[in-house]
Amino acid sequence: MAQKNDKYTYRVTWSEDDNEYVGLCSEFPSLSWLADSPEKCLKGIRKLVAEALLDMTNNSEAIPEPIATKNFSGKFMVRVPPDIHRKLAIQAAESGVSLNRIASAKLSQ
């Protein structure tokens, strides 16, 4: 049975290959659930995650932390080719903003 208060990240989408809806959970990328309606699909993937959590608990395995409860610093390193770095630096200088502001704006598009 699915936990009432689980905080995992679920997504339901149509699968043309299966001709059904597929339910996914970001924190458990190896799990999926197929159903003929989005509602059944969400219920199914939540139940599957609950079963996986119970199994993991019984086997003393590490439980994935829900993405929704993680604290993010807002910082991460991105490597780009030198020519892209130069191009972004020029755009930032011409716009009178930091390179960070330019990169952040482009990532949020």
Quickly tell me which residue has 């159903």 as its tokens: 35
Position 9 scores a pLDDT of 96
Residue 109 banded pLDDT, cuts 50, 70, 90: confident
pLDDT: which is higher, 103 or 40: 40
Q: Using CA atoms, how far apart are residues 109 and 17, in angstroms rounded to an integer?
A: 30
How many other C-beta atoms are found inside a 10 Å radius of the C-beta of residue 32?
16
Q: Per-domain residue ranges for the chain?
A: 10-67, 72-107
Picking from 92, 96, 87, 86, the residue whose alpha carbon sits closest to that of residue 104 is 92
Position 6 scores a pLDDT of 85
Position 13 scores a pLDDT of 97
Q: What is the pLDDT of residues 25-68, one digit of tens each?
A: 999 999 999 999 999 999 999 999 999 999 999 999 999 999 99
Position 64 scores a pLDDT of 93
Position 32 scores a pLDDT of 97
